[in-house]
A and B are shown apart, each in its own frame.
Chain A
Amino acid sequence: NAGVTQTPKFRILKIGQSMTLQCAQDMNHNYMYWYRQDPGMGLKLIYYSVGAGITDKGEVPNGYNVSRSTTEDFPLRLELAAPSQTSVYFCASSYTVGGARGDTQYFGPGTRLTVL
């Protein structure tokens, strides 16, 4: 059981380039999330998905796109990279969220992205 995996671990982009951050989970979780974390800050939600084919915007979606064609995969696309997108990106998944069961999100190891 690998949990949540992310690739790549590190990446340097030039301004205006595009890339896709990969995220996969093998826990058959319905919910998947993309966050960014800037230095000394908490996690900001970029996009989330409640199941295959269903995605929605979080707090900071501008400059990003997502798709969810399978339960397992939730890639994040950066178009026209800007220095403001320099951050650490975390993917997470959960069976449900909150509630009395306390179901929680499991995080991947993160992708450290620098845009120069």
Chain B
Amino acid sequence: QKEVEQNSGPLSVPEGAIASLNCTYSDRGSQSFFWYRQYSGKSPELIMFIYSNGDKEDGRFTAQLNKASQYVSLLIRDSQPSDSATYLCAVNNDYKLSFGAGTTVTVRA
């Protein structure tokens, strides 16, 4: 069973703070890693992908990957109320993606 585990949350952060989301995966053969955002009642939408060790920045979002530790994280800087959502970590697995259960983030004003 190829598993993806995320910190369970919920995570509550004040507006302007950094939200830190963590994800571990079991399949050492995985090559690509994705973070999706899902607003309540909506479908998931891609916000970041990463495939090389290290950091990747896109606006207020930074993804970090450590393949040796089988760990991928997402940092949201200067958190805004519009960032309140569930964040899903996904890991590629042959032709498929395996998803974690998600971490719900609430940004309080």
What is A's interface to B at a CB cutoff of 8 Å? 31, 33, 35, 40-45, 48, 50, 58, 90, 97-100, 102, 104-105, 107-110
Contacts and interface: CB of A to CB of B under 8 A. Distances in A.
B92 A42 contact: no
B99 A105 contact: no
A42 B100 contact: yes
B43 A41 contact: no
Interface in B25-45: 30-32, 34, 42-45
B4 to A, nearest CB: 8
Chain A interface, >50% SS class: loop
11 contacts: A33-B96, A42-B99, A45-B98, A48-B95, A48-B96, A97-B94, A97-B95, A97-B96, A97-B97, A98-B92, A108-B43
A90 B96 contact: no
B49 interface: yes
Contacts of B46: 104-105
B88 interface: yes
Which interface residue of A42, A102, A109 has the most chain B CB atoms within 10 A?
Answer: A42
Contacts of A109: 42-43
Which interface residue of A44, A48, A97, A102 has the most chain B CB atoms within 10 A?
Answer: A102
